[in-house]
Chains A and B, each alone.
Chain A
Amino acid sequence: MKNKHVNAVVIGAGAGGGVAAKELAFAGLSVVLFERGGWATYNDHDDDELISQRITVLGNAFGPDDIRHPRVAVNSDGSTQVLRASQGEYSNNAACVGSGTVSYGAMGWRFMEKDFKMKSTYGHVEGSTLDDWPITYHDLEPYYEKAEWEIGVSGKSGANPFEAPRKKEYPMPPFAYNKSANLLADAAIKLGLHPFPIPMLRNSVSYDGRPACYRMRSCVGFACPVNAKNGTHNTVIPRAIATGNCELRTNCQVAEIIIDEKGRATGVKYFDENNRGRIQKADIVIVAGAAIETARLLLNSKSNLFPDGAGNNNDWVGRNLQGHAYTGAFGLMNYDVYDDVGPGATLALSDFNHYNPGIVGGGVLCNEFTPMPYHFSKIRPPGAKRWGAEHKDFQRNQFKKLIQLIGPFQEIPNFESRVTVDTGIKDYWGIPVARLSGTRHNYDLTGCKFMSERAEEILKAAGAVYTWQSVGGRGRSGGQHQSGTARMGNDPKTSVTNRYGQVHDIDNLFIADGSLHVTNGGFNPVLTIMALGYWVSDYIIKNWNGSKFR
């Protein structure tokens, strides 16, 4: 049976796509929202660490499966390897309704004003594609606010003296500090720093008909058993469906965007839940598959006018793959600081996001999420025994004494960190898979060292009797914070979309995910991706004339 023509197709029911589907459905457009995974719930995985989103040794609880979705990685020596979806190098986000927002740690950060103006703030960095966004923080501010209120963020306006100006308070009060946060807050204040509670996409009080968080330790990496963590799966997507204008199609793999001879998108080819090849025609196509899958889909959408993939006539699709280089320090106290107040991360310091002498950018530092027992078995000071009685003793006696300060360093983008499609390896449906190559800019290591040193100083000031640094910034980029592969910009020669996420030269094809990021901020990017979902949708709706786009 042929699918009925709809106004809009949205590919990917994650942070950006879920928001876009809701906005368009509320504006009266008929929408089909595609998701390659299904619904994920707490009951699917319980508090099982070995299939959680952080530790995927026995598989991905939130998809995709290991069998049908390979990727290829190019190693530094030029050799290639085929990756399973649960391998770390795969750079998985998730494949389920809500995507990463189901299992994330749920930090709801706004980027800072300077995060949108990295090049004009810091100048050119050799070997990088560092640039300014075509939009400013102030363009996005109302959309951040919308995301905070519609999806739900707990926080305190003004608690962070470095935050960008905001017009409205958060909808919920901030979470209280746990024990390690209280210790770190005192130490940080003594050092002249400015601790504050992390804004969280979790309910500190009952909100939107769902209960308050009860602060379970297995939160990050898991779905919430009481639905107190806010993602698109329990907010905007159900609302979109409730309008009657949005159909969610799960377990559907989109293969290609169809581009006609006039250079317009006419719909998508996809494989439905029974693996049958189908076509869905639409007036508008919005891609929100996260940086790697979005780039792959664009590159696989070849047409006469775009022989190298949709929007790729200037070879910018898939370029500038970024994520976050996580860096920081660990410490041990000589008394228990673990108080089982999950998920552990409550305190942040934004003192090092900018204004660091001699450093380009920076990042936020937080007292980190509580590690689960297997994860903790890998957290050891340099030189410590990896097994045997000593290792077991450490596990038994130090787990509750651990204190952590870790954060995402804002990566310096580079042209060779990229996604292409592999000509040889195909997925279960015969679609060429994503191929990841290149590495982070070598500047990232410099920045990470700087941040780890700061983190260690603060842990010492908090009374840690033993400390060590964990320095990130090497190797391939990507990961759950993947971004940058369909950069927005004013110049079509050095970007993929305009400032509204509209692909250059294909007026009815849009991107609405982290692929648009020119730079990725020194913060977890999800709230920015949600805000961009609203921003792009707003532009589409304003230019929608009731039956056609433009």
Chain B
Amino acid sequence: MRTNRREFLYHLSLSCGSILLIPACAGNDSEWRFFSNEEARIIIAFAEQIIPSDNDPGATEANVVNFIDKQLTGPYARHRNEYRLGISGIVSSSEAVYNKYFCDLDRDTQRDFMEQMESGKLPEEFWKEINQRTFFNMLLDHSMQGFYGSPRHGGNKNYASYKMMKLDYPHVIGQNRYVSKCATEKLRDT
């Protein structure tokens, strides 16, 4: 009973919220729920720096942007405005500092840019409506959630992070304590 009412109220609040935000929402050509394709590209590049791909999948392969996009039409609907302002802050700062679009910066320069943002050193004129460090920390936190949280929220594809940390997945109830190592390995490979 609780769940039903909760869900009802939740959807109610979303439908109210979205009325205001329709003009700013993803356009018709977007592959995403909330982001425009360009916004998604920026978030993907950003998240990939937070959790880069190496021998194990990084943020892109684990679908971190899908997690964030999905939450922005769910519990994180309250952060929509911050994302819009923050993304535009990233674009403008990158243009001003490097004379380039953020996604077109090479990886090392992107990282350098993000280090400046983390310590609040990007030009303040582009961060009047949202604090650059606040937005950095939010993106950092949401990327970690998308990579290390449960796949049921749209990220951590195929339990990529669990696999990396050598944790059994999925968690087989009543069995985890007793499966042989061989069986565990087999489970990981499927």
Contact = CB atoms under 8 A, between A and B. Distances in A.
A372 B150 CA distance: 10
A373 B173 contact: no
Contact of B165 (A49, A225, A373, A386): A373
Contacts, number: 116
Max chain A Cβ within 10 angstroms of own Cβ: one of B2, B114, B145, B177: B2
Given A58-B75, A273-B1, A392-B52, A50 B149 contact: yes
Interface string B1-19: 1110110011001000000
Contacts of A96: 2
Interface stretch (A123-131, A316-324, A393-401, A519-527): A393-401
A550 to B, nearest CB: 38
B148 interface: yes
B154 to A, nearest CB: 11
A67 B161 contact: no
A340 B150 contact: no
Contact of A388 (B3, B6, B50, B165): B50
Interface string A363-400: 00000000011101110000000111101100110011
Contacts of B50: 387-388, 391
A392 B54 contact: yes
A218 interface: yes
Contacts of A341: 177
Interface residues of A, number: 46
B150 A396 contact: no
B174 A214 contact: yes
Nearest to B111: A388
Interface in B133-190: 140-141, 143-145, 148-150, 152-153, 161-162, 164-168, 171, 173-174, 176-177
A226 B177 contact: no
Contact of B148 (A65, A215, A218, A377): A377
Contacts of B2: 37-39, 63, 96, 250-251
29 contacts: A39-B2, A46-B150, A46-B152, A48-B149, A49-B150, A50-B145, A50-B150, A58-B74, A58-B149, A63-B2, A65-B10, A67-B13, A214-B174, A225-B174, A250-B2, A251-B1, A372-B148, A373-B149, A373-B162, A374-B148, A374-B149, A378-B144, A387-B140, A388-B49, A388-B111, A389-B52, A392-B54, A395-B148, A395-B164
Given A340-B177, A400-B166, 17 more contacts: A39-B2, A46-B152, A47-B171, A57-B145, A63-B2, A65-B10, A214-B176, A216-B176, A250-B1, A251-B1, A387-B51, A388-B111, A392-B58, A395-B164, A395-B165, A396-B56, A399-B166
Interface of A: 37-39, 44, 46-50, 57-59, 63, 65-68, 96, 214-218, 225-226, 250-251, 273, 340-341, 372-374, 376-378, 386-389, 391-392, 395-396, 399-400
Interface of B: 1-3, 5-6, 9-10, 13, 49-52, 54, 56, 58, 71, 74-75, 111, 114, 118, 140-141, 143-145, 148-150, 152-153, 161-162, 164-168, 171, 173-174, 176-177
